[in-house]
Amino acid sequence: MANYKDIKYDFSGENLTALNATQLTSGTTPDARYTTLPAVSGANLTSLTATNLSSGTVPTARLGTGTASSSVFLAGDNTWAAAAGGGKVLQVVTGTTTTQVDTDSTTLVDTTLSAAITPSATSSKVLCLISQNVSHNGRAIGRLVLLRTTTNIYDTIDVGDTDNQRTLHFGVYLDSPSTTSATTYKTQMARFDQSGTVNIQRNDSGSAGLSTIVLVEIGI
């Protein structure tokens, strides 16, 4: 008679339907036994620190209020604000002349003093600095005009103190040309009153008078 204790059985678990996972004490579960995990959304995460952002770019709308652009910066109160500080010098252009011009007419004539500048932005200002060499023959009263192309933007009276004495007329004007095209600034002179001649850049005993115009573009 067979001894049952010597009989060995090789059981397969393929037909087991209620095996508890705690009974798996060895081996490795194949990846195929796992279904594809759903995409995880961070919509409900409330304690994620910024140090865990290892890639990607944070949208500017998440950084602060207002509209982000190349002309604003992010302030400490998390708002997009205009650049701090005042204007800045963007370029300086200088023109000079020593050509003598004489006039006894009340009609404006070019003094040969001019300079051209091309603003880098329509919002830029142009600071015009003028040093015009003028003398008066017969105590003629001179009229000095600054033009932007053909527009009169600065008009003043230059009074001679002493007959034939050479003086410098200084003028300062802040202009808003509102253009990015090349713009010429020049001066004109005329006799305003009295009789005599107005002499510009007068050549006195071989020494010609020097006149200067300086154009400074200021960014706003």
Q: Tokens at residue 200, please?
A: 């510009």
Calculate mean pLDDT across residues 165-186.
Answer: 92
Nearest to 182 by CA among 86, 108, 110, 93: 93
pLDDT of residue 32: 67
What was the pLDDT predicted at 168?
84
Instruction: Give pLDDT, residue 65.
Output: 79
What confidence tens digit (pLDDT) does each residue in 60-77 have?
777 777 777 766 777 767
Q: What is the pLDDT of residue 66?
A: 74
The percent of residues above 70 in pLDDT, for the chain, comes to 75
Determine the Cα–Cα distance for residues 138 and 115; give it in Å rounded to an integer: 31
The residue with greater pLDDT, 32 or 65, is 65
The 3-class secondary structure across 55-91, one letter per residue, is CCCCCHHHCCECCCCCCEEECCCCEEEECCCCCEEEE
How far from each other are the two terminal CA atoms of the chain, in whole angstroms?
Answer: 112
> What's the whole-model pTM score?
0.62
Give the mean model confidence (pLDDT) for residues 2-28: 65
Q: What is the DSSP string of 120-166?
A: SSTT-EEEEEEEEEEEEESSPEEEEEEEETTEEEEEEEE--SSTT-E
Whichever domain contains 167, its CATH number is 2.60.120.1340
In a domain, 160, yes or no: yes
Predicted local confidence at residue 12, as pLDDT: 62
Residue 36 phi, psi dihedral angles, 5° rounding? -65, 125
pLDDT above 60 for 161: no
Of 4 and 169, the structure prediction assigns the larger pLDDT to: 169
151: pLDDT confidence band, cut at 50, 70 and 90? very high
Over residues 70-126, the pLDDT tens digits come to 667 777 677 777 665 557 899 999 999 999 999 999 999 999 999 999 999 999 999
Instruction: Give the pLDDT of residue 87.
Output: 73
Question: Sheet containing 141-148: which strands, arranged edge to edge?
Answer: 109-117, 183-193, 141-148, 151-158
Task: Tell whether 200 is covered by a domain.
Answer: yes
Kindly list the distances between the CA atom of residue 160 and the CA atoms of 14, 165, 204, in Å, as whole numbers in the listed order. 119, 8, 16
62, part of any domain:
no
Q: Which domain holds residue 176?
A: 88-219
Query: Does residue 133 carry a pLDDT above 70?
Result: yes
Question: Residue 214: inside a domain, yes or no?
Answer: yes
Domain annotation covers residue 206: yes
Residue 2 lies in a domain: no
Residue 167 has a pLDDT of 80
Number of domains in the chain: 1
Does residue 93 lie within any of the structural domains? yes
Answer whether residue 26 is part of any domain. Answer: no
